[in-house]
Amino acid sequence: HELRTPLNVILGFAQVMSFDERLTAEQRENLGLIRRSGDHLLSLINDVLDLSKIEAGHITLNEDSVDLIDLLQSLKEMLRQRAETKGLGLYLELASNLPRYGTIDANKLRQVLINLLGNAIKFTTQGHVTLRVTVKERRNDSHLSIASQFPNEVIVLQFEVVDTGIGIADDDLEQIFSAFVQTQAGRTSPDGTGLGLTISRKFVQIMGGEITVQSTVGQGSTFVFSLPVTVARSADVPVAAFTGRVSRLAPNQPVYRILVVDDQPENRILLVRILTQIGLEVREASNGQEAVAQWQQWHPHLIYMDVRMPLLNGYEATQQIRATPGGEVPVIIALTAQASRGDRTLALAAGCNDYLTKPFQEEALFRKMAEYLGVKYVYANSEVAASGEELLNPSINLQASDLLAMPPIWITALRQAARLCDDSAIEQLIQQIPAEQEFLIQGLRQLAQNYSFKQIVVLTSPETSNDHA
């Protein structure tokens, strides 16, 4: 708690300041360094917390239906710049029979892959890093080609992280999964605690798999693990909200009143700054007693309630508000630097609607208000409302008939590249389009950049082409 609270302020204000259009390039670079260093410090703290939870037996599975391809593609995009800075290729190879939707603990899978890919990039000086995902087996049928057509079926996905890096010595291979133990190369690296692989192995085991490694010094390493995944349908996956930066409130809405409760002045200043800059009415309270008084006088729509405060803590203040006439009305979201499931349970039991852990991203605050109050936003560089409305930023509406300018063999290759979510192959095919077909070039490039691979598959399918013809 004592570490995460000041980090919340550092990262929060660095985020708020980075949106100032008056910043010079040097100032933006300095803020970027602050945020990256703060994020790294937070990741080290979280690693130690995760290991503590694992050893105490407090880690549980939180499975949900997710878009697997979107998850994997977003990981590639997240790490692409880090790889490109070192002159490395970063590739994502997905089997053609990989189901798009599956039920799995996405957060743990994401953390494992970030650990493995991050290590691969860190210890590779030339060449490439590849994440390869294949369908290893189906529990009910040996035929794999139509796995995505059987919702609720359990399949086994195999994940491979392959690099052309410095490799791992045989002596180090026996201990790389031990806590706080690093290889010789790891000890010379400026960052890392020696916990990433330990946590990754534990997470994989919790999810029902095992992780192995093969490595040759001077040639590279391959980490492999397999996980059972239940095939899901698109209807099972929650619609992801647009997560661009909120610039202001959308017009024609009620005047929303938000109460910020925190005993630390810097935390209140940060929250008030974030919320008022988009047009919300905000008041603040420094303890639970003031929070109850503000509720009685001002009747806020939503309260961001710190948990640990003097005089009257957040749990007690929430209980008092709920006990007053009309106290069931406000949405109360607990804010705390405590990162355990037990704290979330206590918050909900006290009457809070939800729970956010510090340090938080400002989009998390906005997302909660959209979820509980129906608040709609206008986003930077777009005109999007947060309640799931369509993007209104300019887009090119391609039709299947637009692709008829290209030969059938090219269309087939484009469809296959889209099925594999291979944006590099799609870009190579786009470069083959004659310059006079500017509409087609820009339209396909826009779809690829937005990862709209499914739409490209639909446009290039024989049935769609024949209908338009």
pLDDT per residue over 352-364, tens digit each? 998 888 777 788 8
Contact 130, 161 (CB under 8 A): yes
According to the model, what pLDDT value does residue 77 have? 82
User: Strands, DSSP E only, in 116-256?
Assistant: 128-138, 154-163, 211-216, 220-231, 246-249
Helices vs strands, H then E, count in the chain? 17, 14
HEC sequence for 398-458 = CCHHHHHHCCHHHHHHHHHHHHCCCHHHHHHHHCCCCCCCHHHHHHHHHHHHCCCHHHHHH
Would you state the pLDDT for residue 163? 95
Q: Are 228 and 147 spatial neighbours (Cβ–Cβ below 8 Å)?
A: no
CB neighbour list of residue 277: distance below 8 Å, 6 or more residues apart: 16
- pTM as predicted: 0.52
CATH, domain range 246-379: 3.40.50.2300
> What parts of the chain have a pLDDT lower than 70?
1-5, 19, 40, 43-44, 46-47, 49-51, 53-58, 139-151, 178-194, 235-244, 337-343, 380-397, 449-451, 463-469
Identify the CATH number of the domain defined by range 64-236: 3.30.565.10
- In this prediction, residue 182 carries a pLDDT of 55
Collect contacts of 85-89 with beta carbons under 8 A, ≥24 apart: 86/121, 86/124, 86/125, 87/126, 88/121, 88/124, 88/126, 88/127, 88/128, 88/129, 89/127, 89/128, 89/129
Domain ranges of the chain: 4-56, 64-236, 246-379, 400-468
Q: What is the pLDDT of residue 390?
A: 35
Read off the pLDDT of residues 426-437 as tens digits, 9 standing for 90 and up. Answer: 888 888 888 778
